[in-house]
Amino acid sequence: MKSKTNHETIYNYDRKIFLIHKNAQRNISKENFELFESYDKTMVREALSKALRVKHLQTIITLSKMLNKNWIDTGRDDIDGLVYKIMDIYSDEKGQESHSSYDMKKILRIFFRWFKTGNRLREEGKLDPYEIQGIKLKTVKDRLVREDLITPEDREAILDACGENLRDRAIIDVHDDAGTRPGETLSVRIKDVKIDEYGYKKTTRILKNKGIKNYVFLEITPYYIIFKNKVTSCFSTFMAGKKTQKKPIVKKAEKKKTVKTKPKSTKAKTTKTVKSKKNKVEFSDDMGIVIVDDDITIDQEKVNEERRAYLEEARSQEAFD
């Protein structure tokens, strides 16, 4: 059986796609649903990711409900009216392009191009179908400024709310210190994090660019060490206990064998009985049990002292280099 990856375990895309198909069957016309299923099969043939399929399928359902007619009967005026509704509902407070309006218009253009020409992407040297030639996409400006981020005091308050839950502290710390996306934080594994001369470093493979992206952890290093040791110890205890619970190997006792001797002249028949061997019980090697203290308390002063010493050492090495 094929094992599930981290992304499948976290997001469960297969179930999402199944529920999206059920939703489409209930909420759009039969003709549009057949087109919907055909488009999904095209995305599968083109080896598009499940996450992208979810995005496109959800958007197509929304667009079909906003259109309120079959795609086969859609003309230029219908598409223009649909774009007007998208901007009216999904644009920002100033009426300008937002990420939502941009994505919806982009998927509308791709889907309708596929519907008319059979290709999701525009062929070189050819124009798009007349109905979607009026769709214009504008780059969305990133308006996020430093003041929109949480302050160090907010971060400490969130960590304090986690109490002694090391898992929650690790998720928040990694997400804040490395600036990762939620999916990257949730999918991180122990083996993804390696130590270098500056601190712990998480290595992430970026499929789009086919390269390696590194995130360096500095402030969270003391907490990460505690979390890693806790996880490793618990895993060792679990595996040791699992191995010691193996059933003993018992060899079945051999049956008694009676050997008849050939009759000799006038002597009576004699029988020779072979004694059965004693049952042998072989136990697996004693793997031992690692005892772990579950009541781990964090000495905040000691952690801060280690953090300061670590950062000073990192800065001195960086200056030396």
C-alpha 4/C-alpha 246 separation (Å) is 27
Q: Is the pLDDT of residue 38 over 90?
A: yes
Mean pLDDT of 181-208: 66
- What is the chain's mean pLDDT, rounded? 75
Distances in Å between the Cα of 32 and the Cα atoms of 21, 67, 74, 90, 278 are: 12, 11, 12, 23, 76
Tell me: the pLDDT tens digits for 211-263? 566 766 666 666 666 766 777 777 777 777 766 665 555 555 555 555 555 55
Tell me: the pLDDT tens digits for 252-268? 555 555 555 555 544 44
Q: What is the DSSP letter of 298?
A: -
Select from 92, 117, 40, 31 the least CA-distant residue to 67.
31
